[in-house]
Amino acid sequence: MPGNSIGQIFRLTTFGESHGAGIGGVVDGCPAGLRIDLDAVQQELDRRRPGSTALGTTRNEADKVEFLSGLMDGVTLGTPIAFLLRNTDARSTDYDALKDVYRPGHADKTWHEKYGIRDHRGGGRSSARETAARVVGGAIARQLLAQDGVEVSAYVSQVGSERTNKPYTDLDLASVWNNDVRTADQEAVSRMTALIEQVRAEGDSIGGRITCVVQEVPAGLGEPVFDKLHADLGKAMLSINAVKGFAIGNGFDSIDLRGSQNNDAMTPTGNRTNRSGGIQGGISNGEDIVFDIAFKPVSTIAKAQDTVDRSGKAVVLEAQGRHDPCVVPRAVPIVEAMTCLVLADHLLRQRTVRAGHDRPISP
């Protein structure tokens, strides 16, 4: 059973290796009659691409998306929307030395153990470059969600030991694109920037946290008992390269609370608090959906590391290519994209849940 598709109704399948002909995907199940703002799609891609932030890699990938099907005059036909990003800045020979060496923290060895073969150039399909296709799919999903006013915003809430000190409700979520850290907490920008620059100078990397907020989401989304909304969100986030943890609402902090402290009291004008993160029993309750994602430090570093080669012999891996010292600034659009994909799918699934005289959804 292949694992390159996500979503039951609004379904994205991605394809492509880092140094093959290109990266792309197919969105099947996007409803017909939706006008797509193609510039907005490209803008989201631009926010993810290497070179988009001064704090990331110095590689520069144009990542120009070409749509191959499913659209006529910019409007969805209800047929599969295929798209392609040609690979251009692919210095495959950079990777010749890695052909038989397994990099620590990477999928090199496991990929070999699974498939018996792997494309070693730039990480092949295990490269984060694959996420470019997710951003395209997510950008289409976002435009579907926009019909219902749903807004998805993510921001960097932690870099190493540097955290935001404010809840998201005190932040201007739109301000995230005004700084290279991609945080919504302007007060934290300089602290986080300094840490990333320091780590880069050390030839090392550092982890981070992204917080994602979904606003104006209708109540009723999520499919118990297994496809609970936060379960599908969690899976989507954990499928992003370098993600090590997911927490909905107050997450691990809820462990040390009493029920009387943790329950969100309900009132005629809404819940008094939102510790649950906008989801109860796996179903959205109409409050903001809020969750956190933990990213490990990037595995590729400039320091020498002990490892093994394909024959099992010990080798020392020396400094490598041009990579990000911290992944979270460029991961913000990926987190948003995966969130949009999950929500679009559940929005459409919810259409099938109630009996009643069937009639066309208004065009």
Determine which residue in the list 238, 310, 321, 322 makes contact with its own copies, applying CB under 8 A.
238
- Cβ atoms of 267 and 274 within 8 Å: the answer is no
Joined together, the tokens standing for residue 315 give: 């080798």
Residue 182, CA distances (Å) to 62, 177, 179, 192 in order = 20, 6, 6, 10
Joined together, the tokens standing for residue 342 give: 């999950």
Q: Looking at this protein, which amino acid is placed at residue 305?
A: Q
Angle, alpha carbons 22-23-26 (nearest 5°): 125
CA 269 – CA 85 distance, rounded (Å) = 48
Q: Toward its own copies, which CB reaches closer, 51 or 251?
A: 251
Determine which residue in the list 3, 39, 93, 165 makes contact with its own copies, applying CB under 8 A.
3
Determine which residue in the list 37, 94, 100, 227 makes contact with its own copies, applying CB under 8 A.
227
Site residues for its own copies, 340-359, by CB under 8 A, read 347-359
Site residues for its own copies, 162-181, by CB under 8 A, read none
Q: Toward its own copies, which CB reaches closer, 49 or 346?
A: 346
CA 316 – CA 116 distance, rounded (Å) = 24
Determine which residue in the list 122, 222, 329, 333 makes contact with its own copies, applying CB under 8 A.
222
In the complex, least distance from residue 46 CB atom to its own copies, rounded to whole angstroms: 22
In the complex, least distance from residue 39 CB atom to its own copies, rounded to whole angstroms: 18
Name beta bridge partners: 151. 215
Determine which residue in the list 37, 46, 67, 320 makes contact with its own copies, applying CB under 8 A.
67
Q: Which of 345, 352, 346 is nearest to 221 (CA)?
A: 346
In the complex, least distance from residue 211 CB atom to its own copies, rounded to whole angstroms: 12
Quick one: DSSP state of residue 269? Answer: T
* Under rule CB under 8 A, residue 9 binds its own copies: yes
In the complex, least distance from residue 222 CB atom to its own copies, rounded to whole angstroms: 7
Site residues for its own copies, 17-46, by CB under 8 A, read 17, 20-24, 26, 28-34
* Under rule CB under 8 A, residue 141 binds its own copies: no
* Count of residues touching its own copies (by CB under 8 A): 164
Site residues for its own copies, 71-90, by CB under 8 A, read 71-72, 75-82, 84
Residue 255, CA distances (Å) to 244, 249, 263 in order = 19, 12, 12
Among the listed ranges 37-45, 48-56, 174-182, 239-247, the one in contact with its own copies (CB under 8 A) is 239-247
CA 92 – CA 18 distance, rounded (Å) = 9
Residues near 68 by Cβ (< 8 Å), separated by ≥ 6?
Answer: 24, 82, 83, 84
- Cβ atoms of 301 and 203 within 8 Å: the answer is yes
Q: Toward its own copies, which CB reaches closer, 44 or 108?
A: 108
Q: Toward its own copies, which CB reaches closer, 184 or 229?
A: 229
Q: Toward its own copies, which CB reaches closer, 66 or 187?
A: 66
Torsion of CA 4, 76, 155, 233, to 10 degrees: -40
* Under rule CB under 8 A, residue 251 binds its own copies: yes
Q: What are φ and ψ of residue 297, in 5° steps?
A: -65, 145
CA 127 – CA 53 distance, rounded (Å) = 19
Q: Toward its own copies, which CB reaches closer, 28 or 44?
A: 28
Determine which residue in the list 41, 213, 248, 340 makes contact with its own copies, applying CB under 8 A.
248
* Under rule CB under 8 A, residue 92 binds its own copies: no
In the complex, least distance from residue 306 CB atom to its own copies, rounded to whole angstroms: 4
Angle, alpha carbons 5-106-323 (nearest 5°): 95
Site residues for its own copies, 271-300, by CB under 8 A, read 272, 276-277, 279-286, 294-300
* Under rule CB under 8 A, residue 110 binds its own copies: yes
Determine which residue in the list 37, 51, 245, 310 makes contact with its own copies, applying CB under 8 A.
245
Q: Looking at this protein, which amino acid is placed at residue 322?
A: R
